[in-house]
Structure 1
Amino acid sequence: MLQASKVLQFSPNYLSSRNILTMASAASTDVQVSVTPSSCLHDEPVQIRVEGLSPNQDVTLNMSMKDTRNVHYISTAHYRADSNGQVDVESMESLGGSYTGHFPMGLIGTLHPAPSEYKFTRFFKRDVLNPNILELSVFDRHLTEEEVCAPESEKALASTKHERHYMGPGVQRIPVRYGKVRGTLFLPAGEGPFPGVVDMFGTAGGLLEYRSAQLASRGIAALSLAFFAYDDLPKTLEEFNISYFEEAVEFLLKHEKIMKPHVGAVGVSKGGDLVLSLATYIPEVKAGVWINGCNANVQSALNLRDSVLPGLEFDFGKIEIVNGAMDCFEIVHNPADYPETIIPIEKADADFLFLVGNSDRNWKSVMYCEQAIERLKKAGRNNYEVHSYELTGHLIEPPYSPFCLSSYHKLISGPILWGGVPKPHVRAQEEAWETMLDFLFKNLTNMKGKL
């Protein structure tokens, strides 16, 4: 977890200026519920407590949030107060609800679509300029989600609001239209210069900014880069040109606040193999963070300067249906059978960090990582780190992003299975985030950064 010395504090007047209650309001004025800190960055843990209950009283804690589309997300947990009428989520175990056992960040990490919503909905933070606003309520007795959400549900004993920010104080968000490059640059507060990275996602397309915003909040300038289905870029994943990514790197290195002469790259899923390609074919990319990707160039041909790297294809006939979602684990061809698609990372003058979810059901990330490492070892290279996480699925996000087992995917035109188990997956995200930040600072500044 982020240590206390790394926590960015927000003004105590920040919440009140937005007309958000920081004290619990209750049907019973004796009961109070608190989230500490009441306002923080999204990658920071919080402490949740309830006071003023009867000794050994059974209660339900309910966390609630709406996204920019007004989709309602909730989580619940059942606790039993101690002999002093207190519940401390930091030290006590949940007896039921969205999770059981000891899970201090469980109420945030297990947020999921409410019973009235489409269940295969993944939470995306689209508007990083504004925080997520969460409401925490405590109810008498152990209640189901349906009982908590019912219009005739009993009144909460107490409620409070909590804000989670993606952009720390002073972080700048700058839309980018540079040549053909489309994206958003996030700059940390201060004069810099800062280590810079190109930040990419997968086959959903469009532009996702939330990871870049959080990287900038931790001292790394990040270019959230779109590469299809955004603005005037191609609508589909037909082919790529390495020149597009070269232009993105050029943009970063021309910026006065970016540390010279090198940058890094971060990518998940399709963005993962793009990271390997950038590090292999663009000399200025010296650090690559691969998150549940492939060791081959997947799906679409990559046009190089004087050659073409073919795309590794899919066999959609191998899709299986699991609990209403498509399990695509077997559909991507084995790169070993199509060596012409494999990215020659042994030629890269860069360091690699492989973050692997061992329960990824979208891609065979474990196998792809093993093939990549085997290739590096055969070439006598030791320029890599591998961090594998048990019971962790495909979507390794920044800390406390709500766990998503399956969700609708535009490319497949249906719900897709991502894999993972909530508690270990959320904990893996904490560790992976710290590991990534340390790796980027070490390899782009030759020193550990102070967060």
Structure 2
Amino acid sequence: MSSTSQEGAILSVNPLSCLHDEPVCIKVSGLKPNQDVTLHSSMKDVRNIHFMSYAHYRADGNGEVDVDVMESLGGEYEGVFPMGLFGSLAPAPNEYKYTRFFKRDVENPNLVTISVHDGHLSAETLCSSEASKPLSSVVHERHYMAPGVQRIPVRYGKVRGALFLPPGDGPFPGVVDMFGTAGGLLEFRSAQLASRGFASLALAFFNYDDLPKGLEEFDIAYFEEAVEYLLKHEKVLDFGVGAIGTSKGGDLAISMAVFVPSVIACVCINGYCAPAEIGMRVKDHVYPAFDLRYDYIRLTDTGVMMPLSCRPERKLVEKLVLPMEKSRAAFLFIVGADDRDVASEIHAQLAHRYLASHSYKFLVMVWVLLVQAKGEI
């Protein structure tokens, strides 16, 4: 839980090992009164890409720093932010600026090295080969899977994915978990859902195992088969399941809620209320998709093409909205208002208006304002 250096500084991280979504308390003692220090967090993903964060603090009259209550004076964030050293992790100065953290192996934790350094240091100094040794450091483990959670590879008919089961006999509420056009199988959310009591099926729909390598026309039968697998499992409650999806997975989750009667709850995160790019086949009928269009794209000074807005024509999307009034599911829309790639706010508004016009009662929308650190995207 703590580490002591020769200088007498003691860095404590409590708990030393916990779930990925749990808070920790970070404290430093044994410093000089009013000493300036830098707290630094560092970790690497499966590709060995380095991510880091840092913050400047000033010890109190007793030579102590308590991140829970004290303000950061600079660095990656300012003010009181107890989980700031985790919430502001970003690629280190020597890495590509827009690299996204990549996690495939959810059975092993993320290892985060937290250290305290004398003085207020920059990111470049902290990453320099000439940087002085920290006053104290601790390795902290952040797990996606709670003790006792099971991961079961799934090959059921055409369905491919991984089922995560909470510890115990159950039965547990079931959920189908999907992401977007990154493809493959992303498991980190399902692992966390299982750690919180849900039987979660991380579902792949292309570029995984023997599934198609590229995006093709979707058939609701595939997703219905995934629901069937869950409902047949002895540890899953058999009265219905939920569907949760991000981006393209959002409109797939809505399609499931509309066309698969056993789906009784739907969470759409930064997604669409109509099929995007690729249509959905339901028996002999194909629900057409709209094309994603960027109104304006600029080239940043680092050579990145950045969409400034993505606003499909409302009238076009309105014609293609899935018939959500046929669903018996409860809907939750979560929207990132600063999303530069998906016009999810427009889609949530259209869904709200559409469902309200049909006297639909089970709808919740959450707008999340993403605050840009230092004005950067």
TM-score normalised by L of structure 2: 0.95
Partners of 2:255 and 2:322 within 8 A in 1: yes
Give 2:87's aligned residue: 109
> What are the within-5 Å matches in structure 2 for residues 236-275 of structure 1?
236-275=214-253
Letter in 2 for 1:310: P
Partners of 1:335 and 1:342 within 8 A in 2: no
Instruction: Tell me how far apart the structure 1 counterparts of residues 91 and 47 of structure 2 sit (CA, whole Å).
Output: 12
Comparing both structures, which one devotes a greater share of its residues to strand? 2
Greater relative CO (CA pairs within 8 A, separation 6+): 1
Instruction: Tell me how far apart the structure 2 counterparts of residues 245 and 328 of structure 1 sit (CA, whole Å).
Output: 31
Note the alpha carbon deviations across 1:58-117, whole angstroms, 9 max, x for none: 001110111111111110000000000000000011111111111110001111111111
Instruction: Determine helix, strand or coil for the equivalent of 2:268.
Output: strand
> What are the within-5 Å matches in structure 2 for residues 5-404 of structure 1?
22-28=1-7, 30-315=8-293, 318-322=296-300, 324=302, 325-331=304-310, 333-390=312-369, 392=370
Instruction: Determine helix, strand or coil for the equivalent of 2:69.
Output: coil
Instruction: Determine helix, strand or coil for the equivalent of 1:243.
Output: helix
Letter in 2 for 1:342: V
Note the alpha carbon deviations across 1:27-77, whole angstroms, 9 max, x for none: 42x101011111100110011100000000000111011111111111000
Letter in 1 for 2:372: V
Give 1:426's aligned residue: none
Percent identity reads 55
Note the alpha carbon deviations across 1:99-141, whole angstroms, 9 max, x for none: 1111110001111111111221111221110111111111100
CA shift for structure 1 position 422: 5.2
CA shift for structure 1 position 305: 1.2
Note the alpha carbon deviations across 1:317-344, whole angstroms, 9 max, x for none: 7433345433335345225224443211
Partners of 2:312 and 2:343 within 8 A in 1: no
Partners of 1:176 and 1:183 within 8 A in 2: yes
Determine whether 1:421 maps to 2:365.
no
Partners of 1:312 and 1:332 within 8 A in 2: no
CA shift for structure 1 position 166: 0.4
TM-score normalised by L of structure 1: 0.80
CA shift for structure 1 position 316: 5.2
CA shift for structure 1 position 352: 0.4
* Contiguous gaps of at least 5 residues in structure 2: none
Partners of 1:335 and 1:341 within 8 A in 2: no
Aligned length: 373
Indicate the RMSD between aligned Cα atoms, in angstroms.
1.5
Partners of 2:76 and 2:373 within 8 A in 1: no
Instruction: Determine helix, strand or coil for the equivalent of 1:195.
Output: strand
Partners of 1:177 and 1:183 within 8 A in 2: yes
